[in-house]
Amino acid sequence: MFLGIDLGTSEVKLLLMAEDGSIVGSAGEALSVSRPQPLWSEQLPTDWWAATEKAAARLRAEHGAAWGAIRGIGLSGQMHGAVTLDGDLQPIRPAILWNDGRCAAECDELLKLVPDLHARTGNLAMPGFTAPKLLWMKHHEPALFARVAKVILPKDYLRLKLTGELANDMSDAAGTLWLDPAKRDWDDTLLAATGLSRAHMPRLVEGSDVSGTLLPAVAAAWGLPSSVVVAGGAGDNAASAVGIGAVEPGQGFISLGTSGVMFLVTDAFRPNPGRAVHAFCHTLPQRWHQMTVMLTAASALAWVTKLLKAENETALLAPLEAGEKVSAQSPIFLPYLSGERTPHNDVHARGMLFGLDASHGQTEIAHSVLEGVAFGMAQGLAALRDAGATVSRLGLVGGGARSAYWAQMHADVLGVEIETFTGGAQGGALGAARLGALATGAKVADVCKAPPTARIFAPDASRSSFYAPRLQRFDALYPRVKDLALTL
């Protein structure tokens, strides 16, 4: 058996996978986010470990025999979060998360300190990344910054608690702005720009490599042998790619979770920072990937469901799923409820329902919200194609994949086939379990297979023609209102 641990923003999820790749069971524990000031987003690392232990205890109780057969553990986690540790390897402050927007000024400062930053990293300096967070600490919390002995990423705090080891995999490290993704090594110039050095960094491993074994105390508490290996693991999106078998160049997927991601595997480092495309290492050796990121995706659906006081998301979308038509004059939705990355890189971007009139009701507004996310994905696909990508089919994972209507909308808007999977919602946890298996010596070709196809959605020409002029209006809207957001 193999255990995958996926540390998300809203939940830590554990998944138990058999040697044949079948899912034996899973358990999750909810997490909360603290927002003590505008733009801030934080969590306590100790809460991550407490939630992991609770989920592990429940999974063990429900699947005792299978649990005892665990031989490898893999880790997946939310990217970019700054976990700062003192000399005793204790957290100095709450972790600053990926969706924290306080560091815009530090991003500008980094570019002045390292003018060739884009060439070194292949990525823009964005507030969500890790490096500007440490520069912010240096300026605003100098006493705490002076205590920093190590900086690790969220999932790697779980590794520390499991194994006592400080390590990070290439896919997650690439999201710090301290890594040279082409060389798969730390960049000393970038570290120095934030007042750090290699001594502050964990060692680097590939995601399928062994990073350590269980501490005796953890092994005893969890009822496992201390010989259980813990793989390098992956950032959440790279882990999701492993979970759906997107490990070879040209394969890719869309994830509709809290944020929205479009992910394409490449055979080399292929950056396009000018369009806010992320170019990162994949979690497997000698592989890279391109990625576009929307900060609001399925969370926009949760937001509008609450706003309209619908019973739940399923009830809100029921008329659309049943075939109810909407007018071409329905509102245009800008899905920037938490700022935006690709293609705008604007922490101050704000959401908007443009074109409302008295005839519009729940169904039209719900459609506009789904559509705005799909239009954001269309902008991401255009940026990837600018970087040389060729795309004809994309997998669809995450909570948003449960809506057939939304899947079809993406096919119609993007003009590519959309494939959903049986078990595709397992995402990063399944990918983490697969990495745990690889760390024990299993082969990529045997482990990293695509789950069974649930359905393929082909573009519909008539629906594509409906969306095309609306996408043009969407593209034109943000440039006209972006400066107004700064005055709100």
For the annotated catalytic residues, the residue numbers are 236
**79 known ligand binder:** yes
316: which 2 tokens? 């809100």
Q: Give all strands of the β-sheet with 260-266 in edge-to-edge order.
A: 278-281, 288-294, 260-266, 252-256, 393-397, 417-421, 453-457
Residue whose pair of structure tokens reads 């063990």 in the numeric block? 60
Residue 261 forms beta bridges with which residues?
Answer: 255, 293
Amino acid at 219: A
Q: What is the C-alpha to C-alpha distance for residues 449 and 432, in angstroms, rounded to an integer?
A: 14
Q: CA 344 from chain center: how many Å? A: 18
For the chain, the distance separating the N- and C-terminal CA atoms, rounded to the nearest angstrom, is 53
Nearest to 91 by CA among 35, 165, 175, 151: 151
288: which 2 tokens? 């890279």
The CA radius of gyration of the chain, in Å to the nearest whole number, is 22
Confirm if 97 and 33 have CB atoms less than 8 A apart.
Answer: yes
Amino acid at 419: E
| 8-state DSSP, 330 | S
Q: What is the C-alpha to C-alpha distance for residues 51 and 54, in angstroms, rounded to an integer?
A: 5
Q: Which phi and psi angles does 262 have, rounded to 5°?
A: -120, 125
Confirm if 207 and 170 have CB atoms less than 8 A apart.
Answer: yes
Nearest to 239 by CA among 139, 141, 169, 307: 169
Q: CA 214 from chain center: how many Å? A: 26
Q: What is the C-alpha to C-alpha distance for residues 402 and 419, in angstroms, rounded to an integer?
A: 12
**80 known ligand binder:** yes
Q: What is the C-alpha to C-alpha distance for residues 239 and 75, in angstroms, rounded to an integer?
A: 8
Q: How many residues does the chain have?
A: 488
Q: What is the C-alpha to C-alpha distance for residues 450 and 252, in angstroms, rounded to an integer?
A: 11
Confirm if 467 and 406 have CB atoms less than 8 A apart.
Answer: no
Binding residue numbers: 79-80
Binding residue numbers for substrate: 79-80
